[in-house]
Amino acid sequence: MTTTLTGDTTVGLSVNQQLLLHRSVIETLSQSGSARECCQGLLRVLCDAGGLALPAGAVWLVDVAQEIRTFGECIVWPPDFEPALSIHVLNHVANAGCAQWTPTDSADATSNANGLYVLPVHNWLGTAGIMALSVHSAVALDKDFAKMIEALSWQIGIFIEHHQFTNMSDELAKSRHDEENTRAALAREREQNDIKNRFISLVSHEFRTPLSIIQSSSELLERYYDRLTDEKRRRYFEQIRTSTMNVADMLQDILVLGRYDSGKTRFDPHPIDLTQYCRQCVEQIQQAAGPKYQLIFEYRGVSEDARMDDKLLWQIINNLLSNAMKYSLQPNPTVEMTLEIDGDRVMLRFADHGIGIPPEDQIRLFEPFHRGSNVGAVPGTGLGLSIVQRAVQEHHGEVHFSSVVDKGTTFTITLPLR
């Protein structure tokens, strides 16, 4: 049902004016980015089409977040328009579902004062809001123009519905995103706590043994130096030296990983003779390990100069060869290192025949301070592979491994040649 206003003058639109109005409506809807922009733009279009007979308008939006209907934002055109409608009238029009004429408080039979043509803004779910157009009391709205206003109110309602549900969807997505971020932050916090606990365990156990050896050997030398044989003195001094080196190595690992985590490690690639460099690294590590271990170095491919950071490359080679020797507990163990250059890629393979890595430990292999469940009394920080992974990442390379318990482990490092 449409209520038409009676008056001395009738407001209607010609066919051309109707086409222009439709075009303006479509442009406004397509360009609006919010319910406010849509309502204000369409009110402006209506006021322009109605001329002096429709000087102003307003739209009250229904708050969809409330179970009971409430009216929230009121959008007006022009900006200084102050419509006066009570909540009772708004609810009455929404419940009735049709337009009505509401005179202003100052209206009387002789004043020619403005009144409000009030109609619901429908959408598919019900009422999205209420629209009120200020109309002169001496003006009658043409029936076709009134129908056009009703049709326009539907367009506003559908736009508002779409916008509100888009906002609700965005808020839900944001809420889910915030929840995921919170979960990720909690997971990181748990991980950091786990790392901290492992570090405390490392300090309390791995450091205690060499420090105890240093202390006891020093006390024996201090108290009984004159009574000790040369052989026992050498043995105690060697224990002090070895334990000191173990502590220094552990501290060095912690400092290196700390520099990676703090972003203070500088990637500085430069040309190196890769074959010669790898051979020198193996010889140096073999010399430090002594005759107990046999390191075998093999080279395949066409020799080419590489462009790498030799300090980070040393961390890769040293940690993987040291681990391979340390966890090869059989007599006279053999460890193989293979360098292979294939096109623009370099592959480094490190193979041992040691204790291997249990499947349950493999998923956490590169976590700081994590050690395999089968390492027994073999000393270590659990940082070597974390350092290897970060050095490989600095080179934009990849690290892979395969392992079988009591059979051995093979690590394959793939790096760009330049």
For residues 159 and 225, state if they share a domain: no
- Asked if residue 19 has pLDDT above 90, the reply is no
For residues 19 and 73, state if they share a domain: yes
Q: How many alpha carbons lie under 13 Å from residue 213 in its C-beta half-sphere?
A: 18
Which CATH number do you get for residue 36? 3.30.450.40
For residues 153 and 42, state if they share a domain: yes
d(CA 317, CA 288): 14
**Per-residue pLDDT averaged across 253-282, rounded?**
84
Select from 239, 321, 307, 245 the least CA-distant residue to 279. 321
Please report whether residue 184 resides in a domain. Answer: no
- 158-211 pLDDT tens trace: 777 776 666 656 666 777 777 888 888 787 777 767 766 666 666 666 677 778
Select from 297, 315, 306 the least CA-distant residue to 415. 306
Q: For residues 84 and 237, which has the higher predicted lDDT (pLDDT)?
A: 237
- 110-162 pLDDT tens trace: 334 478 889 998 877 778 889 998 887 666 677 777 788 888 888 888 777 77
How many domains does one find in the chain?
3
For residues 162 and 233, state if they share a domain: no
- Asked if residue 214 has pLDDT above 90, the reply is no
Give, in order, the Cα–Cα distances in Å from 203 to each of 167, 192, 262, 369, 385.
53, 16, 21, 11, 18
- 311-366 pLDDT tens trace: 899 999 999 998 899 888 888 889 999 999 888 889 999 999 999 999 998 888 88
**Per-residue pLDDT averaged across 71-93, rounded?**
88
Which CATH number do you get for residue 338? 3.30.565.10
Please report whether residue 371 resides in a domain. Answer: yes
For residues 131 and 244, state if they share a domain: no
Average model confidence (pLDDT) across the chain: 81
pLDDT band, very low/low/confident/very high, at 1 (cuts 50, 70, 90): very low
**Per-residue pLDDT averaged across 269-285, rounded?**
90
pLDDT of 400: 94
Please report whether residue 186 resides in a domain. Answer: no
Least confident among 60-64, 119-123, 299-303, 362-366: 299-303
- Write out the residue range of the structural domain in which residue 371 sits: 266-416
pLDDT of 10: 61
pLDDT of 396: 92
For residues 141 and 272, state if they share a domain: no
Tokens of 264: 């203070």
